[in-house]
Amino acid sequence: MKIRYVRIVYQLSFFLMFLWLVGITAMRVVDFFNVKLFLNSSVLIAIINIVSNHKIASGFILSFVILGLTLFLGRFFCGWICPMGAIMQFFSYIGQSKDARVRYNKNTFEERRRYKLCLLIVVLIAAFWGLVLTGYLDPLVLLTRFFTLIIFPFLGLLPIDLSSIGISLDKGLAFNIAIITSAIVIAAVLLNFYVPRFWCRYVCPLGGIFSLAAVNPLYKMVRDKEKCISCGRCREFCQGGCNIDKDAIYSECLMCMNCYSVCPVGAISYSPFPRRKRQVDIEARRQDISSEKREDAKVEYMGVALSRRDFIVSAFLGVTVVGALRDVKILDRGRAAIIRPPGSLDEDAFLSHCIRCGLCMRSCPTNVIQPIVSSNLELLLTPVLDFNKGFCEYECVNCSKVCPTAAITSITLEQKKAGKGKIGTAFVDKDRCIAWSMGRDCLVCQEVCPVSPKAIYIAENSFAGRGGDIKRLYAPVVDPSLCIGCGSCQYNCPVRDLPAIRVTSIGEVRSVSNRFFL
């Protein structure tokens, strides 16, 4: 059997595994399965978290194992495991040209591949200021969010039932600005029709890290110059575009092993190459000819060349992006007054921990966790609780279980009920409340309040009717010391457009400054 089909089976199964793990996150099975497995394998997230927080969740050891293996095996993650890579490869295959010459030319190595390293530098420099850009550039984060916000809500509209394999497709799941937050994935898919695996070759900063590790891996695709008949079929089907038919640039090799499968004379093998220094001629590479043909090969470098100018420009860009995205007026980021999921870190720490993967949104049973809509671009894609769309379920800590970087720290149900779950405080808007100012019985908010004793108690209200007659009835009053800000009252309030009882973040337990009681 051809190794290419083995690879496709691997890619497909890893892709389905990824899909399944994101899918089951909605159920209460997060205790049994590690749904963060794929996010934990991204070394980009790990490095960014180390840079911005000087610490990392223990699950990310996996990512360093993968990085270590890359030194020996090449970029096997990109070609065999990465679900984004699988999608890109699939669409590249669909979109490939029928003309062999066009295919050959499109798979030629270019110096522009260094752009992904430039983006890596931008991301890392921004991380020094606590700005996490994984939400735009990490493939696993992008894909997790794409499936959470678009694919699973869409599948929920179809008359299919996947509960037998643990995937619950809730009907009527909907997220704010889902298409915008997922636009990068859609753009990346479309760009495959322009250049195969455009994302992997030019953009992916995670691939950039792997390309640095795979400059000269122990095992690699080796071309036997004696056997080679220079037919060019290997480059024609190459996914990474690593110039395997000339002097291969192994940092660009995605280990797709198409060259191995298509070579008519068996000149290509996957074998350890003697680790001697090879001389690669950049000039020869630019002119796309084999260095054997040139006498004056000088440069001893086998990866993508990143010049000093590139480094300075991208470092500058990294600083600029911090200024561009961060709303500089909000110096104290805690004043943003956002209701975060229970167990979240204080706003400053939360923003530098949160990788914007959207797994908490997937895990939420009530659809209350939404991507934020804000003019402060740094907050974009982070989770916020929108109590007009749902409420925070009292007997549930799913989001804190699934958060891969502990931006939502892991809390137990007991801790949540013992006070760690206070995410805000409810306020009765007496002017809109039908019990306070319209003289009608209601008390729905008091009924649905989940804490015991209830944080909403009832007080007698004397309502003066139009004719001056006094009607006595009961109306709700919030006890802020008991209220946990779950939003059940706001969600169930019959005044539906702007509820008469609303939760704001004041009094949240995660913040030391966002308090109003002494």
Partner 1 sequence: MEREDSITRREFIKAFTEKIILSGGILGVASFFARRKVSSFDFSIKPFDFKTEAGAGSFLIVSSKDKRKLKELLGDAFDRIGGIGRFISPSDKVLIKVNCGFARPAWVGATTSPEVVRAMVELCSDAGAKDIFVFDNPINTPYLCYEISGIKEAIESTSARIIYPAPYLCRSIEVSRGVIGRFPIFEGVLKEADKLVNIPTAKVHNLSLVSLAMKNLYGFFGGSRSMFHQKIHQVIAELAWFIRPTVNLLDATRLLIRNGPTGGSRDDVRERGIVAISPDIVAIDSFGCELLGVRPENVDYIRRAEKSGLGKADFREFDRFVEIRR
In the complex, the residues that contact partner 1 under the rule CB under 8 A are 27-28, 168, 171-172, 365-366, 393-396, 434, 440-444, 446-454, 458, 474, 492-494, 496
Our measurement of the distance from residue 327's CA atom to the centroid of its chain's CA atoms, rounded to an integer in Å, reads: 22
**Terminal C-alpha separation, the chain:** 73
Half-sphere exposure for 52 (CA within 13 Å, toward CB): 28
Report the C-alpha gap between 232 and 450 in whole angstroms: 69
Residue among 66, 34, 62, 60 at smallest CA distance from 48 = 60
Residue among 438, 442, 397 at smallest CA distance from 416 = 397
Residues in the chain: 518
Of the pair 48, 493, the CB lying nearest partner 1 is at 493
Of the pair 22, 87, the CB lying nearest partner 1 is at 22
Hey, how many other C-beta atoms are within 10 angstroms of the C-beta on 78? 29
Structural contact between residues 319 and 346, judged by C-beta atoms closer than 8 angstroms: no
Sign of CA dihedral 453, 455, 458, 459: positive
Structural contact between residues 371 and 177, judged by C-beta atoms closer than 8 angstroms: yes
Of the pair 8, 443, the CB lying nearest partner 1 is at 443
Structural contact between residues 339 and 384, judged by C-beta atoms closer than 8 angstroms: yes
Of the pair 295, 497, the CB lying nearest partner 1 is at 497
Q: Give the residue ranges of DSSP H helices in 74-114.
A: 76, 83-95, 100-106
Report the C-alpha gap between 328 and 346 in whole angstroms: 18
Structural contact between residues 85 and 200, judged by C-beta atoms closer than 8 angstroms: yes
CA dihedral 315, 206, 410, 349 (to 10 degrees): 10
Enumerate residues 6+ apart whose C-beta is below 8 A from 13: none
Half-sphere exposure for 134 (CA within 13 Å, toward CB): 33
Report the C-alpha gap between 168 and 165 in whole angstroms: 9
Of the pair 172, 419, the CB lying nearest partner 1 is at 172
Rg (CA), the chain: 28
Enumerate residues 6+ apart whose C-beta is below 8 A from 104: 232, 235, 236
Enumerate residues 6+ apart whose C-beta is below 8 A from 456: 426, 445, 446, 449, 476, 477, 478, 479, 483, 489
Residue with tokens 């539906």: 496
Enumerate residues 6+ apart whose C-beta is below 8 A from 461: 435, 436, 472, 473, 474, 475
